[in-house]
Amino acid sequence: MSVSETSHPFGANTTASEIIDGVDLHGRRAVVTGAGSGIGVETARALATAGADVTLAVRSTDAGARVVARLEAQLPAGSGKLNVKRLDLADRSTVTAFVADWSGPLHILVNNAGVMALPELTRTPDGRETQFGVNHLGHFALTVGLRPALAAAEGARIVSVASIGHLFSPVVFDDLDYRFRPYDPWTSYGQSKTANVLFAVGAAERWADDGITANALMPGNIADTSLARHMDPGQLAGFIDATGLALPPGKTVEQGAATSVLLAASPTVEGVTGRYFEDCAPSRTVTERADAVAGVASYALDRANAQRLWAVSEALVR
């Protein structure tokens, strides 16, 4: 099915609960990374409400356990089960352990975790620049490792949470880790988010025969999230001046999770793959940043870029 064939009443103000209303996910299993806060919690809540058994893949299992306790007290009867597993995307050993511990099919994988605008250049234990290492390479290793489980589901969906921040930078293949150019928090974040989109494009093409679909999305401008935990108030206040990019209208956490849930579970996008969505709809392609507050850069959907990134990523996670 092409995106143009989809039709639904959802939009920028739609909430995750509205997306999931009437959807039955009983018998399905889902993983949501970064489900210890923000839209990850609301994504997990929505999927469990529809009956899916949801694994919260989080750095802190104590924090994850608190989320599970809170959600279990709120979920309606007949909801799916919730459980917590440790996953630190900067630490490859935890990714390997998570994959090794998984058994059986996996129907939904929401790659939601991320870091944004680290003020100083830092590197993961294996030497990668942290934003690229966490936001892209960690999720790449996780998803490739879980491919057999996704294929076994016979119709699995991968959801890659990207950002309008991908407009800050394409993937700079010749200097992924800022070993030559001066480090910049925003171009670093931008290339990691571009990588999130390109991963969906690459997975959609490579894994179609397994019945796997993969799409990326921009959740929206959401203040109540831990994504900006590394930023001080001055950085946030100077966002527009620092990046030259205006912020789109604000959303609640419940609205911010809606596009993730749409791509993870809604029948309205059944069979749609390799696309980028925002406000619960396919995005238009833009060819320059200018004053854009929406849209997807053409370089983020480029198949040649996706193929190159896949090959580079495979080499880096070996």
- Find the DSSP H helices in 182-302: 185-206, 233-237, 239-243, 253-256, 258-265
8-state DSSP, 172: -
Query: Quick one: tokens of 273?
Result: 């793959």
SS3 44: helix
Distance CA 59, CA 194 (A): 23
Is-catalytic flag, 276? Answer: no
Query: Quick one: tokens of 91?
Result: 């630490």
CB burial readout 292-315, b (16+ within 10 A) else e: beebbbebbbbeebbeebbebbee
Question: Environment class of residue 209 by beta-carbon count within 10 Å: exposed (0-12), middle (13-18) or buried (19+)?
Answer: exposed
Instruction: Please answer whether residues 310 and 206 qualify as being in contact, where contact means their C-beta atoms are separated by less than 8 angstroms.
Output: yes
Distance CA 195, CA 207 (A): 17
Among residues 178, 183, 189, 299, the one annotated as catalytic is: 189
Query: Quick one: tokens of 51?
Result: 């009956």
SS3 176: coil
Distance CA 278, CA 165 (A): 13
Query: Quick one: tokens of 22?
Result: 């009437």
User: How many Cβ atoms from other residues are within 10 Å of residue 1's Cβ?
Assistant: 12
Instruction: Please answer whether residues 316 and 137 qualify as being in contact, where contact means their C-beta atoms are separated by less than 8 angstroms.
Output: yes
Task: Show which residues are catalytic.
Answer: 189
